[in-house]
Amino acid sequence: MEVQRDIEAMREAARALRQQRGSLAFVPTMGNLHDGHMALVAEAQCRAPAVAVSIFVNPMQFNDARDFAAYPRTLTEDMALLEAQDVDLLFAPAAEEFYRRPLEQSTRVVVPGLSEILCGAYRPGHFTGVATVVNKLFNIVHPNVALFGEKDFQQLLLIRRMVEELALEVEIVAVPTVRERDGLAMSSRNRYLDEEERRRAPALYRILCEAAEAVASGRRDYAALEAQGMARLERAGFRPEYFAIRRAADLELPAKEESGALRILAAAWLGRARLIDNVAVPAPPPEGR
C-alpha cells in the first residue's frame, strides 16, 4: 500500500492509479478503523479496480475541542488493517498540511437546511466541517465513486446534496450499517462505553426498530411515537437528544399520509459516548396480499 502525507503527492498518486487501472473508488475516514469501515473498503473493491482510503481526524467538524483531542488515533493499527485488505493508496495528512490557514479563516462549504437539523442542531458547524473536508478530499483524489456508511445517514444525504448541487463528478454509494451481534451499530465512539453502558447500548437500535415496526403497521401519530421513543431511551438509561421520524429523501417532516420512504433517526448520550443510529421503515406489503 502506498502512503501519502501531502496534498500534491496524493493528487499525483491518485491520478496515476486512476490512469493505470481505469477507475478509482475512495473511502474517506477518520481512522480508528473497525468492521464498519472495512465493509466500506470491501464494497469499494467491488466497485472499482483501485481503492484509496483517507485517514484524517478533521478538526473543522468538531464543535468541541475536548472531543477532538480525545478522538482515538490508531494510525499504525489502521495501516495494518488496510494493508491486509489490499488497499492500494492511503492519504494520511497532518492537520497543518490539510488546513494551511487557521480554521476560522479557511474557506468552507455550507449545505444550508440539512446542516442545521437533527445532529446539526446539537453540533453547530459540524456538517460544514464535513462538507468542506469531503469536498476538498474529492478535489485531491478525484474518485469515480466514494462510499459512505448509512449509520451517518444525515451525513450521507448531505454529501449527496453537495455533490448534486456543486455538480461534482463522483458517484456516492451508501453502505448498510454494520452491527455488533447484539445490534449496536459499530462506531469509534463505542470505546467510550464502560461495561454496564455497553450492556445497555443495544437498546438504542431496539427502540428504533420498535418505532419502525409501529409505523410499518400503520401508525401515523409520528409526534406521539417520537415522544415515546425519547421516553423509552430515558428509561433505558440514555440522555437522548432527538428521536425523529423523517422523510428518507431529505429528512423533512413527513406528511400525515406520506407516500415516500421514511427513516427513523436518534442521537443519545450514554455516559461519555454520544451514540447515533437510524433505521428504515420497512415498506408496506404490496396491495392485495
Number of residues in contact with ligand PAF, rule: CB under 6 A?
10
CB 61 within 8 A of CB 129: yes
Cβ atoms of 132 and 109 closer than 8 Å: yes
Interface residues for ligand PAF in 70-99 (CB under 6 A)? none
- Contact residue for ligand PAF among 13, 24, 30, 245 (CB under 6 A): 30
134 near ligand PAF, rule: CB under 6 A: yes
- Phi-psi sector, 25: left (phi>0), alpha (psi -120 to 50), beta: beta
Kindly state whether residue 133 participates in binding ligand PAF, applying the rule CB under 6 A.
Answer: yes
Residues contacting residue 204 through CB under 8 Å, at least 6 positions apart: 184, 185, 233, 236, 238, 266, 268, 270, 275, 277
- Of 18 and 151, the one with the shorter C-beta distance to ligand PAF is 151
Minimum CB separation of residue 86 from ligand PAF in Å reads: 21
Is the separation of the CB atoms in 129 and 98 below 8 Å? no
Applying CB under 6 A, the span of 15-23, 25-33, 79-87, 262-270 interacting with ligand PAF comes to 25-33
Residues paired with residue 54 on neighbouring β-strands, in sequence order: 28, 91
- 37 catalytic per annotation: yes
How does strand 24-29 pair with strand 273-280?
A: unpaired
Residues 189-218 that bind ligand PAF (CB under 6 A): none
Contacts of the segment 119-125: beta carbons below 8 A, 24+ positions apart? 119/154, 119/267, 119/276, 120/154, 121/242, 122/241, 122/242, 122/267, 123/63, 124/63, 125/60, 125/61, 125/63
Pairing state between β 89-91 and 2-4: parallel
Greatest extent of the chain over all pairs of C-alpha atoms, in Å: 62
* Interacting span for ligand PAF (CB under 6 A) from 8-16, 101-109, 130-138, 250-258: 130-138
Q: Is 40 in the site for ligand PAF (CB under 6 A)?
A: no
Q: Please identify, among the stretches 113-121, 126-134, 226-234, 250-258, the one whose residues bind ligand PAF according to the rule CB under 6 A.
A: 126-134
**Is residue 28 close enough to count as binding ligand PAF by CB under 6 A?**
yes
Output 129 or 202, the one with its CB closest to ligand PAF. 129
Spatial separation of the C-alpha atoms in residues 63 and 6, rounded to whole Å = 25
Fill in the per-residue mask, 231 to 260: x = in contact with ligand PAF (CB under 6 A), - = not in contact: ------------------------------
Question: Does 58 interact with ligand PAF (rule: CB under 6 A)?
Answer: yes
Q: Does 61 bind ligand PAF (CB under 6 A)?
A: yes
Q: Looking at 39, 87, 109, 130, which residue binds ligand PAF (CB under 6 A)?
A: 130
Q: Is 29 in the site for ligand PAF (CB under 6 A)?
A: yes
In angstroms, rounded to a whole number, what is the distance separating the alpha carbons of residues 155 and 123?
13
Question: Which residues from 137-176 bind ligand PAF, rule CB under 6 A?
Answer: 152, 155
* CB-nearer residue toward ligand PAF: 5 or 199: 5
Round to whole Å and give the CA distance between 251 and 264.
9
Interface region with ligand PAF, contact rule CB under 6 A, candidates 7-15, 27-35, 100-108, 198-206 = 27-35
Give the residue numbers annotated as catalytic, written as ranges: 37
- Contact residues toward ligand PAF (CB under 6 A) are 28-30, 58, 61, 130, 133-134, 152, 155
